[in-house]
Amino acid sequence: MRVVGTVLRNSRQICTGLVQHSLRVQGTSYAAVSQSTRFAMLNRAYSTDPPKSPKEQLPKSEAVKNETSNTEAVKDEKPKSEAAKSEAAKSDNVKTESAQGEKPKEKPKDSERFPSRTFGGKSETKERLFPETGPLSLPGIGIFLTTAIGLFVYFNYEKERVGRERKEKMSRVETVGKADVGGRFELVDQDHQTFTEKNMLGKFHVVYFGFCHCPDICPEEMDKIGDALDLLDKNADTKDTVQPVFISCDPQRDTPVEVKSYLKQFHPKFIGLTGTVEQVRTTCKAYRVYFSKPPKVVGDQDYLVDHAIYTYLMDPDGIFVEVYGKDKNAQYMADDIAKRIKKFKDTGRAL
């Protein structure tokens, strides 16, 4: 029942709205129509017949009244429209007069747009290229450029510092675990000049221990060292960077004169060292070199000295770098020494 009542109310409202709309089209208000006329129009709206025109829906008496009222309204509108036209013409005349009386606006002068500056009693007006304040002002740009230059210099300095520390660290790591070879000693060379560990500073040195009366092994090792030096001298980066040294393990027979005569068979760069038995023993101990002379030697009896067959590479600081045994050939020694020289030069030091 509620649904039915709601549908009836809605349909009634719709029909009433249709009636009001048709009356507005005819120019008649809903309140001015009699109640009987309203009922008649509502019945027509409820009916299923085809719709009639607004004039046909009203009774004849109401239609006549509407026609008379419409003609009177048209008569009343004519004088109103004429009065509106005259008022519009007057307002247009007033606008044209006011427009003719107004002066055109002048453009602002340059002195008003831009501040003037005085130079030597003469005022000049210039347009500002930069604002007085803010990041795009001259002080702001100056601060930015100063900061950028400072950061650039700082980062370059830090980059170089880190590179130097890395190279130093790499060089320190290479010496970790190496044998404690080398140290203080004092001998004499083939020219009877004193020679100590200080004379080995500033260059790479290859040091070999032997004796002048050695029949085969020592000459072979000395020739191998000479061949390696020739290979190094062919390269401009390694030429004259290595000094060969021969140290005798037989001081009783190997005098400076004997050593000088012996070295003539080998590379001309060789320096020969010898000394007293105690001096030679101290030097061999520093370099961890084993040597042994037969215990029972009578007069000028010939003998052989048993010794370690190694060639030691010392850097320009007098620090042990590498050792080469009898199984290493001249090419291997030259290549390895060239690598050591390059690493040393990469630290920024010269030979």
Cβ atoms of 251 and 277 within 8 Å: the answer is: yes
Q: What is the pTM of this model?
A: 0.51
**Dihedral, CA of residue 287, residue 289, residue 295 and residue 301, to nearest 10:** -100
Query: In this predicted model, what pLDDT tens digit does every residue of 106-150 receive, in sequence order?
Result: 555 544 554 555 545 554 445 667 777 877 888 888 888 999 999
Higher pLDDT, 290 or 247: 247
pLDDT-wise least confident of 14-28, 136-150, 215-229: 14-28
Helix (H, G, I), strand (E, B) or coil at 291: strand
**Gap between the Cα atoms of 23 and 8, Å rounded:** 23
Secondary structure in 3-state letters for 170-219: HHHHHHCCCCCCCCCCEEEECCCCEEEHHHHCCCEEEEEEECCCCCCHHH
Which residues does 41 contact at the CB level (< 8 Å), separation at least 6? 19, 22, 33, 57, 58
Is the model's pLDDT at 280 over the cut of 90?
yes
DSSP state of 259: H
Helix (H, G, I), strand (E, B) or coil at 289: coil
**Dihedral, CA of residue 292, residue 294, residue 300 and residue 303, to nearest 10:** -70
Query: In this predicted model, what pLDDT tens digit does every residue of 283-300 receive, in sequence order?
Result: 999 999 988 888 777 767
Higher pLDDT, 84 or 244: 244
> Looking at residues 325-342, what average pLDDT do you find?
95
**What's the pLDDT score for residue 4?**
47
Burial label for 281, CB within 10 Å (0-12, 13-18, 19+), is middle
**Helices (DSSP H) in 212-325: which residue ranges?**
217-233, 256-263, 277-286
pLDDT-wise least confident of 3-17, 74-88, 134-148: 74-88
Q: Quick one: what percent of the chain has pLDDT higher than 90?
A: 44
Is the model's pLDDT at 335 over the cut of 50?
yes
